[in-house]
Amino acid sequence: MAKAEKKQALGRGLSALLKDPTNDIKSVEDKGADKVVGNIIELELDAIEINPFQPRSNFNEETLKELAISIKELGVIQPITVRKLDFNKFQLISGERRLRASKLAGLETIPAYIRLANDNESLVMALVENIQRHDLDPIEVALSYQRLIDEINLTQEELSDRVGKKRSTITNYLRLLKLDPIIQTGMRDGFISMGHGRALISIEDDEVQSDIYHKVVSQNLSVRETEALVKKYQDSLKPQAVKATTKSFEVADTDQKAFTGFFGAKVDVKVASNGKGKITIPFQSEEDFNRILKLINN
């Protein structure tokens, strides 16, 4: 978790910058604004107000409690986004569930992206520049892509043009955000690669996904081994073809005698355990063979 701790320390340093009343940042032209735009900053929960125009009003209490437990264990993996209103006052743009769960978890601060009224293009430039770095983990890249889509209202096609990446590449990164938070954390900490994550995404059952993830980490499985494990699980969900079973039977003596009487020869009838069998009709000469053949043709 060294990487996460480093980011939190950086966020705390920047939060001090926002609390300097003599250099209050109100626009992208202000001193220190370049350090705010595109960075994660630790904000006090009490300084953030809910957006009154938030369309979502109902939140499932049970899932909020589950998220709060996750946050207690792992921290807030995906920062919220806020708009700076006034000195040390912010309004939530996105991430209300994370904000509410953080309060339930008893946190005092939360990592947040700060938006200013006129920072739109600066934010795009900062995020695009950030994505080009080589030391980002896959989840960091995915979060940057998602921010550009959500906050700048870009389509994946437009995002593809902005960052110079294929749309399929962007889609693959974005899908990583559907993984369980524990698995996302494992990817950020280097326990698994993006290839592992892409294999695990295809499992819809969160519990099974988590079980396989722990097996991958504990056994140090390769991406190919992980894909094989996932395929084995998916194959187990397919309906198994039911083999038709045929019961065997016994040939009655009367039936045996009927064959013998009809052909004028001792006919041998054998039945196997699966119900299949064969009938053997002996003949003594060509004349006898023709006699039997005549009986069959009639």
Greatest Cα pair distance in the chain:
124
Residue 271 φ then ψ, to 5°? -125, 130
**What whole-number distance in Å separates Cα of residue 137 and Cα of residue 160?**
19
Residue 192 per-residue DSSP state = S
Distance CA 37, CA 127 (A): 9
Tell me if 183 sits within 8 A of 77, measured CB to CB.
Answer: no
Q: Give 70-75's long-range contacts (Cβ < 8 A, gap of 24+).
A: 70/101, 70/181, 70/182, 71/98, 71/101, 71/102, 71/105, 71/107, 72/105, 72/106, 74/181, 74/182, 74/185, 75/4, 75/8
Rounded distance, CA 215 to CA 264, Å? 72
49 is known as an active-site residue: no
Q: Among candidates 119, 58, 50, which has minimal Cα distance to 91?
A: 50
Q: Strand 40-44's sheet: what is its strand order? A: 40-44, 109-115, 80-86, 89-94, 48-49
Q: Considering 96, 151, 158, 227, which one is annotated as catalytic?
A: 96
Cβ–Cβ under 8 Å, residues 135 and 108: no
Which tokens go with 210? Answer: 């988590």
Return the active site residues. Answer: 96
